[in-house]
A and B are shown apart, each in its own frame.
Chain A
Amino acid sequence: MVESLLSFKNLKIEATAYPPGEAPRHVVLVDGVSVSVEKGKVLGLIGESGAGKSTIGLSAMAFGRGGVRLTGGEITLNGRDIRTADASALRNLRGKEVTYVAQSAAASFNPAKRLMEQVIETSVSHGIMTKAEAEARAVSLFRQLSLPHPETIGARYPHQVSGGQLQRVMTAMALCPKPDLVIFDEPTTALDVTTQIDVLAAIKRAIRETGVAALYITHDLAVVAQVADDILVLRHGKKVEYGSTDQIINTPKEAYTQALVSVRSIDHAEKPHAEAVLSVQNVTARYKGTSFDVLQNVTVDVAPGQTLAIVGESGSGKSTLARAITGLLAPSSGRINFAGRTLSADLAGRSKDDLRELQMIYQMADVAMNPRQTVGTIIGRPLEFYFGLKGAEKEKRIQELLDQIEMGKGFAERYPAELSGGQKQRVCIARALAAKPKLIICDEVTSALDPLVADGILKLLLDLQARENVAYLFITHDLATVKAIADKIAVMFKGQVVRYGQKSDVLAPPFDDYTDLLLSSVPEMKLGWLEDVIQSRKMESAGN
Chain B
Amino acid sequence: MRIPFSAILGLVLTGGFLFIAIFAQWLAPYDITSTVGGVWDGPSGTHWLGTDTIGRDIFSRLIYGAQITIFVALASSILSFSLGSFLGFLAAVRGGWIDQLLSRIVDLTMAIPSLIVALVMLSVLPLNLTVLIFVIGILDSTRVFRLSRAVAMDITVMDYVEAARLRGERQSWIIFREILPNALSPLVAEFGLRFIFAVLFISTLSFLGLGIQPPLTDWGGMVGENKGGLIYGKSAALVPAGAIALLAISVNLVADWILSRTSSLKGGRGG
Q: Which residues of A contact B (CB under 8 A)?
A: 16-24, 65-67, 326-328, 347, 350, 352, 355-356, 358-360, 362, 364, 367-373, 381-382, 385, 417, 431, 435
Closest to A355 in B: B168
CB distance from A160 to the nearest CB of B (A): 28
Interface residues of A: mostly helix, strand, loop or mixed? loop
Q: Which residue of A lies closest to B178 (CB)?
A: A370
- In the complex, how many angstroms separate the beta carbon of A297 from the nearest chain B beta carbon? 25
Q: Give the CA-CA distance A359 to B163 in the complex, in Å.
A: 9
Q: What chain A residues lie within 8 Å of B100 (beta carbons)?
A: none
CB pair B271–A347 under 8 Å, yes or no, is no
The reply to whether the CB of B167 lies closer than 8 angstroms to some CB of chain A is yes
Interface pair B167/A382, CB less than 8 Å apart: yes
**Number of residues from B at the complex interface, CB < 8 A:** 24
* A431 to B164 CA separation, bound complex (whole angstroms): 11
Among candidates B2, B159, B166, B264, residue contacting A355 with C-beta atoms closer than 8 Å: B166
Chain A positions within 8 Å of B160 at CB level? 367-370
Interface centre among A18, A350, A358, A359 (most CB of B within 10 A): A18
Q: Say how far A406's CB is from chain B's closest CB, in angstroms.
A: 22
Enumerate the 10 nearest inter-chain pairs by beta-carbon distance, A residue then B residue, closest first.
Answer: A18-B267, A372-B181, A368-B159, A355-B168, A370-B160, A362-B159, A18-B268, A367-B159, A367-B158, A17-B268
Interchain CB contact under 8 A, A360 and B262? no
| Bound form: Cα–Cα A88–B125 in Å | 69
CB nearest neighbor in B for A351:
B168
Residue in chain A with minimal CB distance to B262: A20
Chain B residues with Cβ below 8 Å from A66 are 267-269
In the assembled complex, the Cα of A201 lies from the Cα of B240 at a distance in Å of 74
Q: Are A362 and B163 in contact (CB under 8 A)?
A: yes
Question: Which residues does chain A contribute within 8 Å of B177, judged by CB atoms?
Answer: 370, 373
Per-position 1/0 for B168-188, Cβ under 8 A of A: 110000000110011000000
Most chain A beta-carbon neighbours within 10 Å: one of B166, B264, B266: B166
Give the contacts of B243-271 with A (CB-CB under 8 A): 261-262, 264, 266-269, 271
* Given A347-B165, A385-B168, A370:B182 Cβ within 8 A: yes
Asked whether, in the complex, the Cβ of A371 is within 8 Å of the Cβ of B182, the reply is: yes
B120 near A: Cβ within 8 Å?
no
> Is residue B1 within 8 Å, beta carbon to beta carbon, of the partner chain?
yes
CB distance from B139 to the nearest CB of A (A): 31
B31 is an interface residue with CB less than 8 A from chain A: no
Cα-based distance from A22 to B159 in the complex (angstroms): 26
Contact among A17, A23, A356, A360 for B163, CB-based, below 8 A: A360
Q: List 20 A-B contacts (CB under 8 A).
A: A16-B267, A17-B267, A20-B261, A20-B262, A21-B1, A24-B267, A65-B269, A66-B268, A347-B166, A356-B168, A362-B163, A367-B159, A367-B160, A368-B163, A370-B178, A370-B181, A370-B182, A382-B167, A385-B168, A431-B163
Q: Which of A65, A359, A369, A372 has the most CB of B within 10 A?
A: A372
8 A Cβ contacts from B54-99 to A: none
Contacts of A431 in B (CB 8 A): 163
CB proximity of A103 to chain B, nearest CB, Å: 14
| CB atoms of A22 and B166 under 8 A apart | no
Chain A residues near B267: list those with CB within 8 A: 16-18, 24, 66-67
| A contact residues around B169 at 8 Å (CB) | 385
- A186–chain B nearest beta-carbon distance, Å: 15
How far apart sit A359 and B165, CA to CA, in the bound complex (Å)? 11
Interface residues of B (CB under 8 A from A): 1-2, 158-160, 162-163, 165-169, 177-178, 181-182, 261-262, 264, 266-269, 271
Contact: B162 with A372, CB < 8 Å?
no
Q: How far is the CB of B172 from chain A (nearest CB, A)?
A: 13
List of B residues within 8 angstroms of A417 by Cβ: 271
Q: Which of B166, B261, B268 contacts A360 (CB 8 A)?
A: B166
A43 to B264, CA, bound (A): 35
User: How distant is A473 from chain B, measured CB to nearest CB, in Å?
Assistant: 14
Most buried by B among A328, A370, A382, A435: A370
Min CB distance A364 to B, Å, is 7
Q: Give Cα distance in the complex from A274 to B182, angstroms.
A: 45
For A367, the chain B residues whose CB sits under 8 A away are: 158-160
- Tell me which residues across on chain A come within 8 A of B178, comparing CB atoms: 370
The answer for the CA separation of A373 and B262 in the assembled complex, in Å, is 17
CA distance A417 to B264 in the complex (A): 13
**Please, which residue of chain B has its CB at the minimum distance from the CB of A361?**
B163
Shortest A177–chain B CB gap in Å is 28
Smallest CB separation, A428 vs chain B (Å): 8
Please name the residue on chain A nearest to B261 by beta carbon.
A21
Q: What is the minimal beta-carbon distance from B4 to any residue of chain A, in angstroms?
A: 13
Interface residue from B158, B162, B167, B266 paired with A18 (Cβ < 8 Å): B266
Given the known interface contacts A19-B271, A368-B160, the answer about A355 and B167 at a Cβ–Cβ threshold of 8 Å is: yes
B165: A residues at CB distance < 8 A: 328, 347
Contacts of A350 in B (CB 8 A): 168
Give A384 Cβ to nearest chain B Cβ, in Å: 11
Q: With A and B bound together, what is the CA distance between A356 and B169 in angstroms? A: 11
Report Cα–Cα, A362/B162, bound state, in Å: 10
Asked whether A385 and B167 contact (CB < 8 A) given A364-B159, A369-B160, the answer is yes
